[in-house]
Amino acid sequence: MRDTAPVRPDEQFDVAALDRYLRSRLPEATGPLVVEQFPGGHSNLTSLLRYGEREFVMRRPPVGPVAPTAHDMTRGHRALNALWREFPPAPRPYLLCEDPSVERRRGIVIRREWPKELGDDPATRRKASEAMVDVMAALHAVDYAAAGLGTLGKPDGFVQRQVKGWAERWERAKDREVQAITDLARWLAERIPKPTDATLVHGDLKLDNVMLDATDPGGVVAVLDWEMCTTGDPLVDLGQLLCYWAETGDPYPRRESVVQVTTLPGFYTREQIVARYAEKTGRDVSKIAFYEIFAIYKTAVVVQQIYIRWKRGQTKDERFAGMGPRVEALAQAALTLAAKSGL
Listed in sequence order, the DSSP H helices in the chain are: 15-23, 73-83, 122-140, 158-173, 179-189, 235-243, 252-257, 270-281, 288-311, 324-341
Q: Are residues 149 and 272 in the same domain?
A: yes
Percentage with pLDDT > 90 across the chain: 64
pLDDT of 264 > 90? The answer is yes
Q: Are residues 298 and 204 in the same domain?
A: yes
Residue 2: band (very low, low, confident or very high) from pLDDT cuts 50, 70, 90:
low
68 & 125 share domain:
no
**Cα-based angle 292, 67, 76 (whole degrees, multiple of 5):** 75
CA-based nearest residue to 338, from 239, 266, 246: 239
Same domain, 152 and 36: no
Helix boundaries (H) for 10-121: 15-23, 73-83
Least confident range from 9-13, 86-90, 249-253, 280-284: namely 9-13
Ranking 12-16, 46-50, 81-85, 311-315 by mean pLDDT, the lowest is 12-16
Q: How many CB atoms lie within 10 A of CB 326?
A: 19
pLDDT, residue 218, reads 95
Q: What is the CATH number of the domain that holds 286?
A: 3.90.1200.10
Total number of residues shown for the chain: 343
Confidence (pLDDT) at 160: 97
Question: pLDDT digit string (tens) for 272-304?
Answer: 999 999 999 999 999 999 999 999 999 999 999
Residue 257's pLDDT band, with cuts at 50, 70 and 90, is confident
Residues 62 and 115 grouped into a single domain: no
| Residues 158 and 283 reside in one and the same domain | yes
Dist CA 4 CA 1 (whole Å): 9
- Chain mean position to CA 308: 20
pLDDT at 100: 44
* Domain match, 241 and 168 both: yes
DSSP sequence for 211-239: EEETTEEEEEEEE---TT-EEE-THHHHH
Rounded mean pLDDT, 97-122: 81
Res 339 pLDDT > 50: yes
64 and 126 belong to one structural domain: no
Query: What residues make up the domain containing 26?
Result: 9-106
**What is the 8-class DSSP label of residue 75?**
H
Provide the pLDDT for residue 317: 85
Secondary structure (3-state) at 94: strand
Mean pLDDT of 72-97: 85
Is 31 domain-assigned?
A: yes
Closest CA to 142 of 92, 200, 197: 200
pLDDT computed for residue 342 by the predictor: 94
Lowest-confidence pick of 37-41, 150-154, 205-209, 301-305: 37-41
- Asked if residues 200 and 231 have their Cβ atoms less than 8 Å apart, the reply is yes
Provide the number of structural domains found in the chain. Answer: 2
Is the pLDDT at 256 greater than 90? The verdict is no
Decide if 282 is inside a domain: yes
In 264-275, which positions are buried (b, 16+ CB within 10 angstroms) versus exposed (e)? eebbbebeebbe
Say how far residue 45 (Cα) sits from the centre of its chain.
Answer: 13
Q: How many CA atoms lie within 13 A of 73 on its CB side?
A: 20
CATH of the domain at 47: 3.30.200.20
The alpha carbon of residue 192 and the mean position of all alpha carbons in its chain are separated, in whole angstroms, by: 23
CA 303 to chain centroid: 13
- For residue 28, what are the CA distances in angstroms to 36, 55, 56? 18, 9, 10
- 97 and 132 co-located in one domain: no
Choosing from 73, 89, 106, the residue where a domain stops is 106
One domain for residues 86 and 141: no
> Is 3 a domain residue?
no
Question: What is the overall mean pLDDT for the chain?
Answer: 90
Query: What is the tens place of the pLDDT at every residue in 31-65?
Result: 899 999 888 755 678 888 999 888 988 888 775 54
DSSP string, 264-317: STTSPPHHHHHHHHHHHH----TTHHHHHHHHHHHHHHHHHHHHHHHHTTS---
Lowest mean pLDDT among 66-80, 176-190, 277-291, 299-313: 66-80
